[in-house]
Structure 1
Amino acid sequence: MTNPANPVPLAPLAAIPSEIRCAQDYEVLARRFMAAPTYEYILGGSGRDQTAPANLDAFGQWSVYPRLLRDVSAGNTRVAVGADTFSHPILLAPVAFHKLAHPAGELETARAAHAMQTCMVTSTLASCTLEDIARLAGPQRWFQLYFQHDRVATLELLARAEAAGYRAIVVTLDASIQVASLRALRAGFQMPAECVAANLTSDGPPPAAPAFEPEASRIFQGVMRAAPTWRDLEWLMANSSLPVWVKGVLHPDDALALRAAGVAGIVVSNHGGRSLDGAPASLAVLPAIRDTVGAQYPLLFDGGIRSGTDVFKALALGANAVLVGRLQLYALSVAGALGVAHMIKLLREELEVCMALAGCATPAEIDRGALLRA
């Protein structure tokens, strides 16, 4: 459904709206707080938008078994993810340009992350500087990296992230090409002037496109000429003092090769449906990737989380923790930092309800035996 005309979006509120009853309600309410084209851009993925809704639908393929007479009175939601321990398994995914949702952008999100003891993964394409975000995000913060057009610029981003106290680097490798969503194009979306990549202003213009032969492809010899390869990943790991994670893994063979290469952990993700349209849902491939890399290798999950029960299902199918993407922008648009913090609180409580009724006192007790394929 196309977002109805909303020429004058509401300003973010200073209180939680009474209509919010669950975390996903922020997605519905955000229509009032965003211009229609912006809402369609955030909602959409790429191309014909096949993969983005598939991420949501995948959760409906699983049911959760309720269990009886289990003592969960000492339950908690603590998880270990690589070298870090978090009070709950709900992390904030790297999402570009938070100023699409709130005038203060990522600074509001960072305040919420700190208040809720959540790890915020700051995007290279943030609309605030990584240093300003770090000052507000609390001690649990990671930095998402896109390879830049030259290694000097990439090293500068690495050095800034390390100096600002980020604890890990999450390099995205599945988005060398991003095809615009037809949903966003038809809505007339254009990136607002205030949404600039604040961390890249000193990077300078990209190199000029080469002159093509008549038979040359603007994809293979054009866009993809600077796409990272295994050599680039090896170089990055050799030059980072922080653990390097890879985001955008969907194939078990890639997961196995990344583990063998010494990558600290991987994020099972299809970029929220914004990369290859028609890629499988992240949840659909999660069990096979967990089986391939083994029980101890750190895995994060990204793609379609809308409830605490979704979090439970992702943990049951092999994730150590999950990343929440679009929901943070929806909540940010409605009530700023307060909205994001409230959204995380709701997700955590929904997870706790699901755990309690499924007889799981801790995330370590959640496994595939808790699920039935619907």
Structure 2
Amino acid sequence: MLMVEGFKYCTRLCLSPQFYNLILSEKGARRPPENMEITNVMEYQEMAKQKLPKMIYDYYASGAEDQWTLKENRDAFSRILFRPRVLIDVSGIDMTTTVLGFKISMPIMIAPSAMQKMAHPDGEYATARAASAAGTIMTLSSFATSSVEEVASTGPGIRFFQLYVFKDRNVVAQLVKRAERAGFKAIVLTVDTPRLGRREADIKNRFTLPPHLTLKNFEGLDLGKLDKTDDSGLASYVAGQVDRTLSWKDVKWLQTITSLPILVKGVMTAEDARLAIQAGAAGIIVSNHGARQLDYVPATIMALEEVVKAVQGRLPVFLDGGVRRGTDVFKALALGASGILIGRPVLFSLAAEGEAGVKKVLQMLRDELELTMALCGCRSLKEITRNHVMTQWDCPRILPRL
């Protein structure tokens, strides 16, 4: 019994991010020099922090309240370990997949992130071009600083449109129709924001959209002004316009105004997953809004398997939140995700190196996923199974009997 308890303790200690950070601090770790070659996605965050005004960096980087979930979104991945298989011919690795019938080069897509021209003058244009070059999907935020028409003008590509439901349903209908006309292929309905989470960094910074930028999808619509607030322009805007009465019946209502498939973004429980199926959703995105809404919810990777089991293969389940490595992508796929979406890595790389940075992030994650697949003995995404990972709740399976 003592040996078992000792094994548990040592495993927890060795996997602890605090333990790793302690080692770094003991060695007097330094930030990488600015001319150092970027070797992983995380390094872009420090570059972005150095380049961006504090108000903008904090808006992109911070989470809600105590930011426990923000940290947990990353830490939870470190508590999932691999069970690699060996002596398998992995000379050829196929990472292609389909999402809602659209073939993409890899199960790594771009999540909706607001106001990207705060990060770089090219903003959503750069992100759209990078996604297209990588052969994957970009999701455009309702609160973009480039309109659906402008993003469509960047050239071919598979693009989804993220939607909030506003009190004025005529506005919603206009946005959906414009996305359809611009060639967008799906609607990503965000459902976890009946009210905006308390983001204290934005309150302290009195966040407002810089005056030279506008929310392009709303130009010409009577939706109020961003500057009527005493804390955050965005908070005032969203709180005043997003419909707090939004319910599952509105998912059905959306289906009456568009033929586009609807992905429900913000599901974290089996109960809501089953309701999404009943409402006719085409897919689910397990998301906690980048830890920007309700603090102390689980990391999305911890909530994923519950949702996958509830769905029972009736529709695809995707994940966003905390993905920074190809190993993270593999773990999500092993736990049942059909693909993942990245948000902050796009914003930070965009701030650091523009379109080239976003391209590099997508390429680095692709290369890391390919390497992880090879070292785990998987030649295609279909060969990635639950047996390739072990989690905290698998302990009875992996601990020896004494």
Shorter chain as denominator, the TM-score bin is 0.7 to 0.9
Equivalence for 1:59: 77
Equivalence for 1:124: 142
Equivalence for 2:216: 198
Equivalence for 2:12: none
Q: Conserved in 2, the CA contact under 8 Å of 1:114 and 1:136?
A: no
Higher normalized contact order (CA 8 Å, seq sep 6+, divided by chain length): 1
Q: Taking structure 1 as reference, are residues 337 and 222 closer, same or farther at Cα in structure 2, changes over 3 Å only?
A: closer
Residue 125 of structure 2 is aligned with which of 107, 112, 121?
Answer: 107
TM-score (norm 2): 0.82
Q: Conserved in 2, the CA contact under 8 Å of 1:46 and 1:178?
A: no
Cα distance between partner residues in 2 of 1:356 and 1:309: 11
Query: Post-superposition shift, 1:104?
Result: 1.9
Equivalence for 2:229: none
Equivalence for 2:11: none
Query: What amino acid maps onto 1:204 in structure 2?
Result: D
Task: Flag as ranges the 4+ runs of structure 1 deviating above 4 A.
Answer: 221-225
Equivalence for 1:361: 379
Q: Conserved in 2, the CA contact under 8 Å of 1:113 and 1:138?
A: no
Taking the TM superposition and a 5 Å limit, the aligned residue runs for 1:211-250 are: 226-250=244-268
Q: What is the SS of the residue equivalent to 1:256? A: helix
1:140-161 CA-to-partner distances (Å, cap 9, x unmatched) read: 1111111122111111011100
**1:182 lines up with 2:200 in the alignment:** yes
Residue 306 of structure 2 is aligned with which of 288, 305, 320?
Answer: 288
Query: Post-superposition shift, 1:90?
Result: 0.6
Query: What amino acid maps onto 2:148 in structure 1?
Result: L
Equivalence for 1:323: 341
Q: Taking structure 1 as reference, are residues 138 and 105 closer, same or farther at Cα in structure 2, changes over 3 Å only?
A: same
**1:89 lines up with 2:102 in the alignment:** no
Cα distance between partner residues in 2 of 1:291 and 1:137: 38
Cα distance between partner residues in 2 of 1:223 and 1:132: 24
Cα distance between partner residues in 2 of 1:240 and 1:224: 20
Residue 38 of structure 2 is aligned with which of 20, 26, 30?
Answer: 20
Q: What is the SS of the residue equivalent to 1:346? A: helix
Query: Post-superposition shift, 1:65?
Result: 2.0
Percent of aligned pairs sharing the same letter = 38
**1:262 lines up with 2:285 in the alignment:** no
Query: Post-superposition shift, 1:223?
Result: 8.3
1:170-212 CA-to-partner distances (Å, cap 9, x unmatched) read: 11010121123223434554432234211012220359xxxxx
Query: Post-superposition shift, 1:224?
Result: 8.0
Residue 388 of structure 2 is aligned with which of 336, 359, 370?
Answer: 370
Q: Taking structure 1 as reference, are residues 222 and 87 closer, same or farther at Cα in structure 2, changes over 3 Å only?
A: closer
Cα distance between partner residues in 2 of 1:313 and 1:141: 25
Gaps of 5+ in 1: 1-15, 208-220
1:110-158 CA-to-partner distances (Å, cap 9, x unmatched) read: 1111111120001110001111112226331111111122111111011
Equivalence for 2:98: 80
Cα distance between partner residues in 1 of 2:243 and 2:208: 26
Equivalence for 2:370: 352
Query: Post-superposition shift, 1:74?
Result: 2.2
Cα distance between partner residues in 2 of 1:349 and 1:25: 16
Cα distance between partner residues in 1 of 2:61 and 2:185: 30
Equivalence for 2:358: 340
Counting helix residues as a fraction of each chain, which structure ranks higher? Answer: 2
Equivalence for 2:396: none
Larger radius of gyration: 2
Q: Taking structure 1 as reference, are residues 103 and 224 closer, same or farther at Cα in structure 2, changes over 3 Å only?
A: closer
Q: Taking structure 1 as reference, are residues 54 and 194 closer, same or farther at Cα in structure 2, changes over 3 Å only?
A: farther
Query: Post-superposition shift, 1:98?
Result: 0.1
Instruction: Provide the alpha-carbon RMSD of the alignment.
Output: 2.0
Query: What amino acid maps onto 1:353 in structure 2?
Result: L
Residue 156 of structure 1 is aligned with which of 155, 158, 174?
Answer: 174
Cα distance between partner residues in 2 of 1:223 and 1:106: 23
Deviates further, 328-337 or 52-61: 52-61
Taking the TM superposition and a 5 Å limit, the aligned residue runs for 1:136-147 are: 136=154, 138-147=156-165
Q: Conserved in 1, the CA contact under 8 Å of 2:320 and 2:342?
A: yes
Deviates further, 258-267 or 198-207: 198-207
Cα distance between partner residues in 1 of 2:74 and 2:291: 11
Cα distance between partner residues in 2 of 1:225 and 1:343: 35
